[in-house]
Structure formats: C-alpha cells, structure tokens
Structure 1
Amino acid sequence: MLTSDIKSRFPILNQEVNGHPLVYLDSAATSQKPDTVIETISRYYEHDNSNVHRGVHTLGNRATDEYEGARQKVADFIHAASVQEVVFSRGTTTSINMVAQSYGRANVSEGDEIVITYMEHHSNIIPWQQLANATGAVLKYIDLEEDGTLSLDKVRETVTDKTKIVSVMYVSNVLGTMNPVKEIGAIAHEHGAVMVVDAAQAAPHVKVDVQDLDCDFLAFSGHKMCGPTGIGVLYGKKELLEGMEPVEFGGEMIDFVNLYDSTWKELPWKFEGGTPIIAGAIGLGAAIDFLQEIGLDEIERHEHRLAAYAMDRMKEIEGLTIYGPADPARRAGLVTFNLDEVHPHDVATVLDMNGIAVRAGHHCAQPLMKWLGATATARASFYLYNTEEDIDRLVDGLRTAKEYFSDVI
C-alpha cells in the first residue's frame, strides 16, 4: 500500500488553506506535481533552453535529445509500436480535435455514423458534433445502464456497417466507470469503423497498452498524470497517421516549401507545426519516470482501496447520493455525489472553508448530467498522494455542510 510519505514529494500539498491542512481531492481536474517534475522543468529552462530540431549548437542538441527522449518514454509508457505513432499536442481536447478534423473530414460522409456515449466529456462530444454538422453524418449515442456502465449488447445494437468512428472514454470523469474499450473497439472493427479512446482519466491511473487494446487512436493529457499543463499526446496507428493531413501549418512540420505548394515532414513531426511544447514534453517524460517508479499497478490498487473506503464512509451520511457503479472494482478512484437539498457549489464552499478541495459543477459533461437528472454534482477524486485520513476529513466536512444547511433551511 502506498504510504503518506509520497505526499511529501508534492510541495504544494505542504500548506494550509483557510487555516486547515490542505486535502486535495480534485486530481481528476488536474493532478499535483512531484518535486522531480518541477526540478526537471526548472533545470531545462536554467541549462538547456533552446528550440529543437533546428540548430546545431550544443543547447539545441541537448534540448532536442530531451524532447525526443520524452517521446520515447511516452511510446514505452503506452506500448506504442513506434515513436512515429506518438504526436505531442496541447492536451486531450486538441488530440481528439485533430482526429475529427483530419481523419474525420477525409473519411466521413453524409449518412455515415459517428458513435459515442452519454457519459462523454465535452471534448469527446463537440468535435464529433461539428464533424457531423459539416459532413451530414449522423451522431449516435450508446445508452447507459442504470448504474452508469456500458452494455456490450447495446454497443452492438448501436454500431452498424454505416459507422465510421466510435469514440469512448476509457474512464468516466463523473461516474468513475471503467469502460470495456478493448471489447468496444473489437465491435467497431467488425463493422469497419475506427476506435478512438479518450484516456485522459485512465493514463494517470492504470496501465495503458495500445497494442493490446488495438485502438486506432488514443488521447491523454500530461497535467492529469503529475505532468505540466499544456502538453498532451495523440497516439495513432502509423498507417492511419500517414494517410492524414496536418491540421496546423507553418514552420517545423514542413519538408520543403515552394512558392505555391509545400511537402510535409515524416511522422510524427508533420503534426507538430511551430515551436513545439518543449518544456511540457520534457516535464511529461519526468512524470512518466515518477509514475513508473511508484508502479501503475500499485497506484491502481491504492485508488481502488480509497474509492471503496470513501463509498463506505460516505454512505454513513443520510441524504447523500453517490452516482456510478456500486462495485468499487468497476470504478476508478473518484466518487461523485450530491447532498439532499444542498447545492454542490455550497457543499464545495463549506469543504473549502475546511481546507478540502473538491470539484463541483457539471464537470464538462452536461449530457450526462441530464441523464442523471441533476444540474450539477460534487466530486472527490483521489490519487497516489491521498490517504484514508483525507477521506475521513472529507466525511467530517460533509457532516459539517449538512448540519449547517439543515439549520439554514
């Protein structure tokens, strides 16, 4: 079991908020950063700061080696067949938009189908809405089971020979549901469709093997997995990426520029126009080193224990509703909930007054909120630096909120 010593590796957690020791339970929004990631980024700016792939001087060569070394770390982390299948982006949102705008525009036509689910984050809904509107394709949704899980039977009912793209999140940022993306991808492939996986909530917490999943595209962000903001990854099968056109044009991604036409570099650089996110990529590489030092299997076990403990403790509070699978083994390390007759923003405010940071709102998942019959919810999300004591503090804070608003009401 992970120990509380890990928390000491995260400088930001060593502080008080509103007179209380900070309990950070919002890692699904963004994770905190360990000392080694902060030091790696600082060292780059202090010693190696230079543009990459362009100069022949020492700083340029060092920066290029670190940047491309980070790409190799990502490829190894997700078990890509080649570094050419790893494209750096600004984050999950950008990566999914790249697939929709490049692959989608070239391969989806009027009457074709794009299939997603009601639980998707807005970043895995809006790009497909825009693609459907631009091409005349039909956007279809796989309905959810009562507990917020996906039935493969319903997947088979929804995906047809007209389906060109199936895009599903690996782990729900609201329900915590861990989706069977490998099996969904197999169904998509049976009908000749490509499988896109939103792994923003998976890559920080579980081992991701793109070859085992046999997904065609996969996207995730660095800032949710102990890395810096502004850096993400698009994985794509090499043959698919080779057939796609870039969506940004300019320096760095070109092979040769004539007056009236240009040619592109080989993979993956044809998708990385302009000065790339150098420090971000290097920081992401350091985050991957840190996570692998701890061990993804151990992180996953730790979070399952915390989720089970949190659900047991939170059930002690009368009038508290927990959303998502009841079985902790079927969910990731987060609990989304509402307290009867208390708005989640008010709950979050009381918790913040006690030094506890949780998320409240629609979580960029308004279609799911409508499906749940809620306008908003509160969410506590756990990571490797959280402990059972943090959850005890959360439960105490929820009791305080309930008592306070019971008196007000």
Structure 2
Amino acid sequence: MDAQKIRSDFPILQGGNLIYFDNACTTLKPRQAIDAQSEYYSSYSACSGRSAHRLSKKADEKFSRSRETVAKFIGAKSSEIIWTKNTTEALNLVAHSFDFSQRKKVVLTNMEHHSALLPFMHLAQKGAITTDFALAGKDGTFSSDAFSTAIDKNTALVVVHHTANSTGCPSPYKEITKIAHENGALVLIDAAQGAPHHKIDFKKEDFDFLAFSGHKMLGPTGIGCLVAKEQHMQKLNPFMLGGGTIESVSLSEMKLLQTQERFEAGVQNYAGAIGMGEAANYLMKIGMENVEEYEQGLAAELISAVQSIEGATIYGNASSKQRSALLSFNLKNVSAHQTSLMCDSLSQIALRSGLFCAQPAMEHMGAPKGAVRASLYIYNTKEEIRIFRDTLEKIAKLA
C-alpha cells in the first residue's frame, strides 16, 4: 500500500504540515468522495424514488448503487442496508424498535461507547428491559468467559463493540456471537471503529445487526447504516414514520412497506449516501486486508514511540496484534488536554483528549479524568509518528 499516493487524494493534506491523528473521531475525505457529493448537488440534485423526471431517475440510480456498494463493502445484501444519519441513530433504531415482549434482558459491556450504552440504559430506567454487563479486564480486553456468564436463556440482545474506541482493541465478537446464538439471543455489533479498519463480512460472521458511520471511513458526516438480517428486520417496529415508509394509508389504517425503506422516513441524505458509497469503493480498491496490514505496522510504531517516553501510561492491551492504529495514553504530570493542545501548537498534530464518550471504560482502565488518544489511518506515516514522538519528548521534559 502506497501511503504517499493515497495522501495525494486528500485536498486537506496538500501544501501544509498537518499531522492528523484524530481519525477515530472522524477521518479526512478523499477527492473522490468530495467530488461525488458535489456532483449530486451540481448536476442532479433531486429526490430519489419520488418523481418521474430525469434528474430524479439519476438520483435514484446513484442512491441505489451506493446502497449496493456499501452492502458489498460490509459483506451484506443491499436489502439488508438501512440508511441512518450515523452509528448512534442505527443503535437507537434497534433499541427503540426491537421486540422485548418475550425476553427483556440486554447484555452490554463496560467498554461500550455511550451511543451503545445510553439507549439501553434509558430503556432499563423506564422498566422496559433489564441490563447485565460483561466486564473487561483492567486492560480493557475480554475473555469469552465474561460473556458465557452474562448471556443466558433470558437474554434478548447482546450489544458489543467490534473495536473499542478507547483502546483500538477488538472484542472476541466471534465467540460472543456463538454464545448469544446458542442461548437464542441476537447480536448488535457497534462497528463504528471496526468497519473503517478491518475487513468485515456480515454474512460470514453471522451477525444479526451491525451499525457503522460514513464519516469514520472517508465518507461524509450525517450518513451511516444499520445492517440487519432480513428475517430480523421484519420484526423491528419502526420508531419513526413518514413519507416513503408505507404501501398505503387511509384514515382508518396503514400498511407499512416490507422492505428497509420503512425505516427511512422522509427525504434522505442522498449526497451523503452517494459520498459514503464512493468512500466504500475507495477502500475496496485499496483492499481492507491491505488496510489492516498497514495499520498494524503503524500501531507497532505508535506503541513503541509512546512507550519510549519516560513516565507515559498506556491504556489498553499494548501487545494486541489485532488492534487498529489507535492508542490512548497520558504523560506524567501533564493533563490530557494540555498534551493535546501542546502537540497542536508545537507540531500541528491533531489529537483527541478527554473521555472519548466512553466514561465507564476510561474509569475502569484508571483514567477517570481522561486521556490523550492518537488514532491513525491509511494516509498517516511512520515519519509522522517520529515527529509525534519527538514532540511528546519535548512536552515531557517541560513537565
């Protein structure tokens, strides 16, 4: 994989010294994805599937093709792709549409992003469901035994990350899915940090639901997906209805569509979906196996760089070989926010600092006041990591 060639596709990286290490928050956008969205607005800005004129037909063609591309990217059928505005909405869609009438127990973990935790905690507070938690080890990783204990015949749904946004380490999702299915429970995978960095095959992995966003995989903000097995999609009760969701309606009754469009109320984010499709196509051309291999090399360099700083504390399993190039850490006697600000000021390095919308996870790993997170992607380089290391050394010496 040629990172320098890839960098040439990103307008924001041209003619400056930006070192962008905040990819777990959102990624930069390649020219191809930007141009695809711009073309929609400048050439065929119309509603898809609603009008008969030529612009509408072209919008419908591009919108449908993007659904097919994203489905191919994630190893699913296009009929299993529901457009949402982001991962958060996709997770909420399941939480508020799932039938908990027969089983009410939902199993989560203490390493989940708030977007996976809060919808189900809210339902539990209202008495609609009960929750149980599989607990990680101190390094934020799991043994499958934690799930064998938590998941039982009363479990309706297991909600778990593919890759943790606080550590970059994957969950044992294969084992979790097997345990859940053996107990008659379904699995919802939060793949916001997984889909951009790992090859995922929805069908092969036998997931029931999977959520991810466009903006974390080179696409635009405001677009994401819920991937749902068709037999399970039929059992979801839409929590939002409107134009485009019904077969027919009278003043006495309504008949919902049987396809995924019944979850896509109103005019959709066509430009966003088209941009996400182009981003997925961009990544497939590179090859997700190549993305994984390149990132694992970056991860090793990144861990080594931070470990070389005297007094640095790393959160998560530093020895995991399956991790993405994401690392959370703190410097001795320097707050996370101060480290982040100084990296930006000294070397134009963009980082994230705080709790990463994962407060229980960070508290569990011993960082209740937060940490610094460096998260790299396909356009980052080992030379950037060297500059990062040198900058951290300067900051550590000033402390």
Query: Given the two structures, how large is their TM-score scaled by the length of structure 2?
Result: 0.97
Structure 1 residue 23 corresponds to structure 2 residue 6 = no
Structure 1 residue 238 corresponds to structure 2 residue 230 = yes
| Corresponding residue number in structure 1 for 2:382 | 388
Structure 1 residues 110-159: Cα deviation after superposition (integer angstroms, max 9, x where no partner): x8321111110000100110122233432111111232211011110111
Q: Distance in 2 between matches of 1:58 and 1:337?
A: 54
- Counterpart of 1:100 (choices 95, 99, 103) is 95
Q: Distance in 2 between matches of 1:42 and 1:235?
A: 26
| Corresponding residue number in structure 1 for 2:358 | 365
Q: CA RMSD in A?
A: 1.3
Deviates more, 1:40-49 or 1:219-228: 40-49
| Corresponding residue number in structure 1 for 2:246 | 254
| Corresponding residue number in structure 2 for 1:376 | 370
Q: How does 1:2-151 map to 2 (within 5 A)?
A: 2-16=2-16, 21-80=17-76, 82-103=77-98, 106-108=99-101, 112-151=104-143
Equivalent AA in structure 1 for residue 93 of structure 2: M
Q: How does 1:198-277 map to 2 (within 5 A)?
A: 198-277=190-269
Equivalent AA in structure 1 for residue 87 of structure 2: T
Instruction: Give the secondary-structure state (helix, strand or coil) at the position aligned to 2:133.
Output: strand
CA offset at residue 397 of structure 1?
Answer: 1.4
Structure 1 residues 204-236: Cα deviation after superposition (integer angstroms, max 9, x where no partner): 111111111111100000000000000000011
CA offset at residue 333 of structure 1?
Answer: 1.2
| Corresponding residue number in structure 2 for 1:345 | 337
Structure 1 residues 170-201: Cα deviation after superposition (integer angstroms, max 9, x where no partner): 00011111112121011011111110000000
Contact 1:304–1:328 under 8 Å retained in 2? no
Instruction: Give the secondary-structure state (helix, strand or coil) at the position aligned to 1:38.
Output: helix
Structure 1 residue 197 corresponds to structure 2 residue 189 = yes
CA offset at residue 352 of structure 1?
Answer: 0.7
Contact 1:147–1:324 under 8 Å retained in 2? yes
Contact 2:192–2:211 under 8 Å retained in 1? yes
Contact 2:169–2:320 under 8 Å retained in 1? no
Query: Given the two structures, how large is their TM-score scaled by the length of structure 1?
Result: 0.95
- Counterpart of 2:293 (choices 285, 293, 301) is 301
Note the residue ranges of structure 1 that are not aligned, 5 or more in a row: none
Q: Distance in 2 between matches of 1:193 and 1:254?
A: 29
Equivalent AA in structure 2 for residue 67 of structure 1: F
Q: Distance in 2 between matches of 1:88 and 1:235?
A: 9
CA offset at residue 241 of structure 1?
Answer: 0.7
Q: Distance in 2 between matches of 1:138 and 1:266?
A: 30
Contact 1:317–1:399 under 8 Å retained in 2? yes
Q: Distance in 1 between matches of 2:316 and 2:28?
A: 25
Contact 1:108–1:164 under 8 Å retained in 2? no
Instruction: Give the secondary-structure state (helix, strand or coil) at the position aligned to 1:125.
Output: helix
Equivalent AA in structure 1 for residue 208 of structure 2: D
Contact 1:358–1:380 under 8 Å retained in 2? yes
Structure 1 residues 67-99: Cα deviation after superposition (integer angstroms, max 9, x where no partner): 01111111111111x322110000100001000
Equivalent AA in structure 2 for residue 9 of structure 1: D
